[in-house]
Amino acid sequence: MSSKGTIFLTKDNEHWYQETSEPRYDKKKKFIGWDIYLEIDKKNLVDLDYDSTDGLTIAIRGDSELAKNIEMLRGQELKE
């Protein structure tokens, strides 16, 4: 049985999912969520930059299925 809770999967096999076998808890042992993994096809990457101060910046093609899925999620969030 898979422990991946798919958020979305694209035709390019880009997979965004929650890893439900790795629950996270705070210091008081209260459940706070699952880790989320992002698998991105290199053909949809515009830029990938790591800075030790700011962290990781990922730019993806705006016309990719991945970008369209993110925009859809963003739209749903703004409507709530």
Sign of the Cα pseudo-torsion (6, 31, 72, 63, in order): negative
Dig out the tokens for 31 from the structure.
């459940």
The predicted pLDDT at position 73 comes to 81
Quote the CA–CA distance of 32 and 77 in Å, as a whole number.
20
Find residue 7's DSSP bridge partners. none
Query: Over the stretch 27-79, which tens digit does the pLDDT of each residue have?
Result: 999 999 999 999 999 999 999 999 999 999 999 999 999 998 888 887 764 44
Q: How many domains does the chain have?
A: 1
The pair of structure tokens assigned to 75 is: 């739209």
Model pTM score: 0.73
pLDDT of res. 70: 87
